[in-house]
Amino acid sequence: MPHFQREQGRCVAINPRASLPLSLLALLATGEVLGDDLFDNSQAMPEVLTATRLKQSPAAVPGSVTVLDSALIKASGARSLPELLRLVPGMLVVPQSGNLTTVNYHGSSANQARRMQVLVDGRSVYRAGFAQVDWNDIPVAIEDIERIEVFRGPNTVSYGANALMAVINVLTRAPRDSHGTRLKHTRGQRGINDWYASHGQGWENGDMRLSLSGLQDDGFDQRDEDNDFRDSKRLNRLNLSISQELDATQSLEWQLALKEGTNQVDNRYEPIFPVAAQPWEQDRDSDVRARDFASSLRWNLDFNPEHSLYVQTNLQQWERLREWRACEGQLAFSPQLGQLWALSPRYTNRLSQHLEAGNFTPPTGTPEQMTLATQVLQQAYSTLDPTTRTLTHSCGLINEDARESRFDFEVQDTLSLSENLRLVSGLSYRHDRADSEVYLNGKLSRDTWSLFSQFEWHINQHWLLQGGAMVEDASTTSPSLSPRLALNYLITPAHGLRAVYSEAVRTPDMFENHADWRYRVRDLKPTLAGQSEADYFATAAGPGNLEQEVMRSRELGYNGHFSNIGLHLDIKLFYDEIDNLISEPLKVYQFMPTNGNRLRLKGAETELNWQMGMRDRLRLGYAYIDYDASHRIDRRLTPRNSGSAGWLRDWGHNWSSALFYYGADQLNEYRFERLDLRVAKRFSVADSTLELAAVMQQRLDDEPLSWEANNYQQRHLLYFSAELEF
């Protein structure tokens, strides 16, 4: 039955079945029912920093921001950063294997997540050489994270190229809030064996936190019915954070992060030419050893409450070390075959098919192609075993090591020109370097200068105008300008409507644009004409003239905080256009990246966070995406509907629980639904606190996880943790 409510002297019927967002907007519009809340500024408003580099209330932000706080992070039971990001509307988590994950916002390619900026305490962990974020290898433990801010939309104006579709900023606990000792151990099915230990202490005007952690599991069970999936991961991390106040206006912050680990990788190389190699002659595994280093130093200077400045420098290095042995017909090292491949990979594939069928007649082609093909066929015939009809083969080592390093320097100035006008501006320089014998044939580097500025102008009590731009000049591309303009109407400081237009770019990475992909095979046995080294015939080269991808984004939205009922609501409508899109798969047998693709995205997102009294918290997130993509790969990943729901409950007597649902109707063409339950109990022992927790994950679908090979023997996962604080 409907109930009635008086509004401006008349009665109106309220349908209890109406959607919650519409009901809330209706209540907001009446003003009388929630008037005390709407105009009550007595409670401190939450603030976010990632959107504009200025501290702002969510209602004043020029875009949509998701905040995952420490309570939500702990309640989720997540062991890795990608699992946490399932709580963000429109964020798609796509495991490619047990130790390699792709995270995209609003889709595009499932293989490469090249269009998001990822920060840890403001330090970018995006690898510019190969356009990658190693999500499972980011050297920060879940237990050290205080909050995660996700700006859902383009933000090149604040963080430069590669912040094309979203920005994820992971903020760790401040050393001053980390005093004491914490120990935690997690064990469970699928080889889960995690540990964490941290200690924090303070001294006069200074604080420190040191944490050590490890993570290990077995990955997926099997690729198919007969073959195990070698995709386990093992890593260890060290994080040191120190803060020191120099005087009343100055402070220093220093961070150090180290990580080492091993990711299993199958060597599934299959010879192109028929050979009689024995199985033991070729490695069936080719694990990747990962070693990362990062250090940052930041000097903060507060001239006065209206003017502050900081100078920050970062130094990082990534190493991915991999060496493996493979066998191939000696014909694969023929210089003539390499010349033929350079002329036409398609014709070379046809020649390979002729050889596989035992046909020693060259396929029809140009005179130059057929001349080279005849020479190759003569070489093949001379090494053919007439009994087995296979070619003489050689086995050798391939070094696939890749190293990247970065030096980053940034100066930022924040100034309040008046009570109504704030300005943030800055300058940054970044030097990126990549080194790979296989993918780059040596070393490449790129220097990038950036100049940015943004303003926030409160025209009056209700209207807020924001704008800014970043000019970026990289040594490998032409300069770019990324502007943004936003108009917010603040119904109250806690409730705002927004209209945003922004442009963003993504600079092609070194590998896309300047690849020199070739395999030098060493320690060949048997040797080739007495030589123990040779080059594999298949090579690839980057075009060298790729332009920046360009995005134009339009957004309408509402953000409101109903403090008297503990409800926070965000609604977003968007229309995004990406041109000059680089979508082609980057494979040595098909390396043809171009700027000839486009992507159109439109839809709606909503996020609701409701603290229902002292014991219950409800969290909902939903995204609807309608897309039009010119390349089939960009159509594989994006789901029409995706979302999450969470219920956190404090049962009293130190018992708590959290129930989460995650779902997407298409995750790389596979449906995904999962239910997570965490139950925890806290005990007080002398001056210590012990928490015991159990997490169960239950898949509700019956499909592989994003790829055909990603399978578990059981649809559920159970693991337990014990955490001691003293």
Segment 171-224, tens digit of pLDDT: 999 999 999 999 999 999 999 999 999 999 999 999 999 999 999 999 998 776
Predicted confidence at residue 11, as pLDDT, reads 39
d(CA 590, CA 291): 30
Query: What percent of the chain lies above the pLDDT cut of 90?
Result: 68
Lowest mean pLDDT among 142-146, 384-388, 556-560: 384-388
Segment 43-57, tens digit of pLDDT: 556 789 889 999 999
Residue 655 and residue 125 in contact, taking contact as beta carbons nearer than 8 Å: no
Residue 465 and residue 60 in contact, taking contact as beta carbons nearer than 8 Å: no
Predicted confidence at residue 6, as pLDDT, reads 35
Predicted confidence at residue 43, as pLDDT, reads 52
Question: Is the pLDDT at 284 greater than 70, yes or no?
Answer: no
686 CA to centre of own chain? 42
Predicted confidence at residue 596, as pLDDT, reads 92
Q: Which parts of 547-615 are beta strand (E)?
A: 549-562, 567-581, 586-587, 590-591, 597-612
195: which DSSP letter? E
Question: Is the pLDDT at 3 greater than 50, yes or no?
Answer: no
Q: Which residues contact 69 (CB under 8 A, 6 or more apart)?
A: 147
Predicted confidence at residue 309, as pLDDT, reads 97
pLDDT confidence band for 42 (50 / 70 / 90):
very low
pLDDT confidence band for 33 (50 / 70 / 90):
very low
Lowest mean pLDDT among 335-339, 353-357, 509-513: 353-357
d(CA 337, CA 348): 8
Segment 585-633, tens digit of pLDDT: 888 888 889 999 999 999 999 999 999 999 999 999 999 999 899 988 8
Between 589 and 292, residue with greater pLDDT: 292
Give the residue from 177, 216, 166 showing the smallest Cα distance to 195: 216
d(CA 552, CA 569): 26
Q: Is 97 left (phi over 0), alpha (psi -120 to 50) or beta?
A: beta
Predicted confidence at residue 28, as pLDDT, reads 45
Give the residue from 523, 507, 463, 462 showing the smallest Cα distance to 487: 463
Predicted confidence at residue 372, as pLDDT, reads 93
d(CA 253, CA 273): 58
> Reduced to 3 states, what is the DSSP secondary structure of residue 339?
helix
Between 269 and 683, residue with greater pLDDT: 683
Predicted confidence at residue 263, as pLDDT, reads 93
Mean pLDDT of 333-349: 91
- Where in the chain are the domains? 1-33, 34-322+400-508+546-725
Longest dimension (CA), the chain: 100
- Determine the residue type at 390: T
Question: Is the pLDDT at 7 greater than 50, yes or no?
Answer: no
Predicted confidence at residue 27, as pLDDT, reads 43
Lookup: tokens for 298: 């930041």
Predicted confidence at residue 521, as pLDDT, reads 94
- Determine the residue type at 475: S
pLDDT confidence band for 282 (50 / 70 / 90):
low
Predicted confidence at residue 653, as pLDDT, reads 96
Predicted confidence at residue 487, as pLDDT, reads 98
pLDDT confidence band for 225 (50 / 70 / 90):
low
What does the mean pLDDT of the chain come to? 89
pLDDT confidence band for 14 (50 / 70 / 90):
very low
Would you list the DSSP string of 204-264?
A: TTEEEEEEEEEEEE---SBSSSS-B----EEEEEEEEEEEEE-SSSEEEEEEEEEEEEEE-
Predicted confidence at residue 578, as pLDDT, reads 94
Question: Is the pLDDT at 486 greater than 60, yes or no?
Answer: yes
Predicted confidence at residue 161, as pLDDT, reads 83
Query: Does the domain formed by 34-322+400-508+546-725 have CATH 2.130.10.10?
Result: no
Predicted confidence at residue 224, as pLDDT, reads 63
Q: Is 186 left (phi over 0), alpha (psi -120 to 50) or beta?
A: beta
Question: Is the pLDDT at 167 greater than 50, yes or no?
Answer: yes
Segment 106-117, tens digit of pLDDT: 877 656 668 889
Lowest mean pLDDT among 32-41, 566-575, 667-676: 32-41
d(CA 638, CA 110): 9
Between 123 and 112, residue with greater pLDDT: 123
Predicted confidence at residue 256, as pLDDT, reads 97
Predicted confidence at residue 280, as pLDDT, reads 55
Segment 492-540, tens digit of pLDDT: 999 999 999 999 999 998 999 999 999 999 999 889 888 899 999 999 9
Segment 56-111, tens digit of pLDDT: 999 999 999 999 999 999 999 999 999 999 999 999 998 888 898 989 898 776 56
Predicted confidence at residue 354, as pLDDT, reads 85
Give the residue from 251, 244, 142, 149 showing the smallest Cα distance to 198: 142
Question: Is the pLDDT at 143 greater than 90, yes or no?
Answer: yes
Predicted confidence at residue 129, as pLDDT, reads 85
pLDDT confidence band for 360 (50 / 70 / 90):
confident
Question: Is the pLDDT at 26 greater than 50, yes or no?
Answer: no
Question: Is the pLDDT at 9 greater than 50, yes or no?
Answer: no
Distances (CA, A) of 77 to 142, 186, 583, 655: 10, 11, 35, 15
Question: Is the pLDDT at 398 greater than 70, yes or no?
Answer: yes
Half-sphere exposure of 597 (CA within 13 A, CB side): 20
Give the residue from 448, 410, 178, 160 showing the smallest Cα distance to 296: 410
Mean pLDDT of 336-363: 88
Predicted confidence at residue 713, as pLDDT, reads 87
Q: What number of helices (H) and strands (E) belong to the chain?
A: 10, 41
Q: Which parts of 463-543 are beta strand (E)?
A: 463-474, 480-492, 495-506, 516-517, 520-525, 534-535, 540-541
Predicted confidence at residue 389, as pLDDT, reads 74
Mean pLDDT of 465-475: 95
